[in-house]
């Protein structure tokens, strides 16, 4: 069966890594019909918005998208394309698997955790204003409904994937009402899942624990902001942002994208590591039921990393994006 998928090229390193993931998926045997669209800085002048309506329409129609990163101006300018997409399509669960890969230098051997980040509210609701010239206020929204569905998603994932423990991360000692509601809701949901161990950890202590003993953690679930920060931090445990894929899942659509941003510092230099978007492609293929193609790609990526002959600069090598991608494609061809 042919799957129609929206492919969003993004900006910065987006177009380079997009080309890489498309080539890899096309070689894997998965039957994908791509609808390729642009978003971000490249379309801003043409459409007056970084996220033209045709993108939302295309994802609503196809139900599945693979998206490259898009730049968001800091402290001014347009609203984040990513946050807009997640809110408009109600993509409430952001899922980021973080694990060590043989051949990639890092301080740990056995990290294998999955972060479930609530994706639609918290301080990302975008409700902020100036009270006067010297005081700004941001509103943090936490609802029972959104907390419940993200914690449910984490437990369901744990069950389906043979995971043993779910850790809820919060700051309810200080934000007694908002994070208090998140924690109370998580505890309530956990009561239904007796077979899965449940614990809660305050976010500051969690940061230390993750750095000291990341092997102790399995599935982690948390509100939006903590998820954003801890998933970047956790990527540092396994060798960097170039390795962490992600999925944004909602009831009616799913958008797959790397955890990293548009990396303007290396854009256009053929230096970007496409692993994260390729592994996001693997998550997408599994979601679509294309498990054979997904496995083929995952094995190819793992074997190129393990052999260490063609690694991109962020992983200590000197292979270009193109060379690294070609090495993965060759592995896929060898197992076809
Ligand atoms: P970033 O993730 O783009 O880059 C952080 C550092 O990691 C940079 O040194 C970069 O070169 C490196 N890096 C990231 N991805 C890499 C890759 N695939 N290969 C090799 N090195 C890689 O974060 P930054 O600089 O904070 O954000 C840049 C822009 O991206 C901002 O405008 C931000 O808003 C946007 N962004 C977009 C996201 C998305 O579209 N989903 C997610 C995160 C940030």
pLDDT digits (tens, 9 = 90+) for 278-287: 999 999 999 9
For the Cβ of 278 lying below 6 angstroms from any atom of ligand 1, the answer is: no
Do the two domains 1-93+242-336 and 107-238 of this chain adopt the same fold?
yes
Q: Which atom of ligand 1 is nearest to the CA of 272?
A: 19
Cα-to-chain-centroid distance, residue 271: 21
Three-class secondary structure of residue 244 per DSSP: coil
For the Cβ of 231 lying below 6 angstroms from any atom of ligand 1, the answer is: no
Question: CB-side exposure of 326: number of CA atoms within 13 Å?
Answer: 8
Backbone angles phi, psi at 166, to 5 degrees: -120, 130
Short-list 291, 293, 319, 284, CA closest to 305:
319
pLDDT for position 79: 74
Average pLDDT over residues 47-59: 91
Q: Decide if 228 is catalytic.
A: yes
For the Cβ of 84 lying below 6 angstroms from any atom of ligand 1, the answer is: no
Question: Which CATH superfamily groups domain 107-238?
Answer: Isopropylmalate Dehydrogenase (3.40.718.10)
pLDDT for position 164: 97
Residue 336: pLDDT band by 50, 70, 90 thresholds? low
Q: Which of 171, 271, 296, 331 is catalytic?
A: 171
What are the residue boundaries of the structural domains of the chain, listed by start? 1-93+242-336, 107-238
Q: In angstroms, rounded to a whole number, what is the distance separating the alpha carbons of residues 186 and 169?
A: 10
Q: In angstroms, rounded to a whole number, what is the distance separating the alpha carbons of residues 37 and 73?
A: 21
Q: In angstroms, rounded to a whole number, what is the distance separating the alpha carbons of residues 288 and 29?
A: 13
Distance from Cα 268 to the centre of ligand 1, integer Å:
14
pLDDT tens digits, 155-180: 999 999 999 999 999 999 999 999 99
The token pair that represents 189 in the structure block: 């949901």
For the Cβ of 241 lying below 6 angstroms from any atom of ligand 1, the answer is: yes
Alpha helices in 89-241 (DSSP H): 144-160, 178-191, 203-212, 224-238
pLDDT tens digits, 202-225: 999 999 999 999 999 999 999 999
Distance from Cα 75 to the centre of ligand 1, integer Å:
16
Q: Decide if 204 is catalytic.
A: yes
Q: In angstroms, rounded to a whole number, what is the distance separating the alpha carbons of residues 198 and 243?
A: 27
Q: Which atom of ligand 1 is nearest to the CA of 313?
A: 20
Written out in words, the top-level CATH class of the domain with range 1-93+242-336 is: alpha beta
Short-list 82, 58, 78, 79, CA closest to 69:
82
Q: Which of 67, 87, 92, 124 is catalytic?
A: 124
């Amino acid at each position: 069966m042919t799957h129609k998928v929206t492919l969003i090229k993004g900006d910065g390193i987006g177009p380079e890594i997009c080309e890489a993931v498309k080539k890899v998926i096309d070689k894997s045997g998965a039957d994908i019909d791509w609808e390729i669209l642009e978003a971000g800085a490249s379309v801003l002048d043409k459409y007056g918005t970084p996220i033209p309506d045709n993108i939302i329409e295309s994802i609503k129609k196809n139900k599945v998208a693979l998206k490259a990163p898009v730049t968001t101006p800091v402290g001014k300018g347009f609203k984040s394309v990513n946050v807009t997409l997640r809110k408009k399509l109600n993509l409430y669960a952001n899922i980021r698997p973080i694990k060590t890969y043989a051949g990639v230098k890092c301080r740990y051997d056995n990290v294998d955790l999955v972060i479930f980040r609530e994706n639609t509210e918290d301080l990302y609701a975008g409700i902020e204003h100036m009270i006067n010239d010297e005081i700004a206020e941001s509103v943090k929204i936490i609802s029972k409904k959104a907390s419940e569905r993200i914690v449910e998603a984490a437990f369901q994932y744990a069950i389906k994937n043979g995971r043993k423990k779910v850790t809820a991360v919060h700051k309810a000692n200080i934000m007694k009402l908002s994070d208090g509601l998140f924690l109370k809701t998580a505890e309530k949901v956990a009561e239904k899942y007796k077979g899965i161990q449940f614990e809660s950890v305050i976010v500051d202590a969690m940061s230390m624990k993750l750095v000291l003993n990341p092997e102790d953690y399995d599935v982690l679930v948390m509100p939006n902001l903590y998820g954003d920060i801890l998933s970047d931090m956790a990527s540092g445990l396994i060798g960097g942002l170039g390795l962490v894929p992600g999925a944004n899942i909602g009831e009616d659509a799913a958008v797959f994208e790397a955890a990293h941003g548009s990396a303007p510092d290396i854009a256009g230099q053929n230096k970007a590591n496409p692993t994260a978007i390729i592994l996001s492609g693997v998550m997408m293929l599994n979601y679509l039921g294309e498990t054979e193609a997904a496995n083929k790609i995952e094995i190819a990526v793992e074997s190129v990393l393990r052999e260490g002959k063609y690694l991109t600069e962020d992983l200590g090598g000197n292979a270009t994006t193109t060379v690294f991608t070609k090495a993965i494609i060759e592995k896929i061809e060898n197992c076809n």
